[in-house]
Amino acid sequence: MSKEKSIVHPFGPLYDENSKSLILGSFPSVKSREAMFFYGHPQNRFWKVIPAIYGEEVPENTEEKKTLILRHNLALWDSIHSCTIKGSSDSSVKDVVPNDISKIIENSKIERVFCNGALSHKMYMKYIFPDTKTEAVKLPSTSPANAAFSLERLIEHWKVIL
């Protein structure tokens, strides 16, 4: 059983000057922290959903994933900069320090914000929205813990990004 740890987000955001839509997760899972990249758990459906809505192949590696995101003017980051967490459990998150997204906003063309799951949206609205005043769209989590949503249902909901 994993014990509670206080962790600082171990890697930076993915965006460029052309990014128009920001997708925020909550905080990287154990697998994502090991991979030092977003949605690193093999059962997370993020890397199936995004290419599906754009009619593309599933990326094989981190470089292909970065290229896919930037080619579609997307940006990836997380709502939480640091927290106390047990393993990858969203329900265990406490002592939250939010991420500062102002650098992304200032150095891109972000017009829309999407949150991957309820915790990301809750943290965005509580800590980040008061500064940005940009409403965020709450999307169903691509996490394997969200068993209520099939891949097909996720893809349907996530098409709002287009």
Domain extents in the chain: 4-161
> pLDDT tens digits for the chain (162 residues)?
678 999 999 999 999 999 999 999 999 999 999 999 999 999 999 999 999 999 999 999 999 999 999 999 999 999 999 999 999 999 999 999 999 999 999 999 999 999 999 999 999 999 999 999 999 999 999 999 999 999 999 999 999 999
Integer angstrom CA distances of residue 131 from 11, 58, 66, 101, 126: 23, 35, 27, 10, 10
What is the Cα–Cα distance from 145 to 60, expressed in whole angstroms? 23
- Taking the whole predicted model, whether its pTM rises above 0.85 is answered as yes
Q: Which CATH number describes the domain made up of 4-161?
A: 3.40.470.10
Contact in structure between 4 and 95 (CB atoms under 8 Å): no
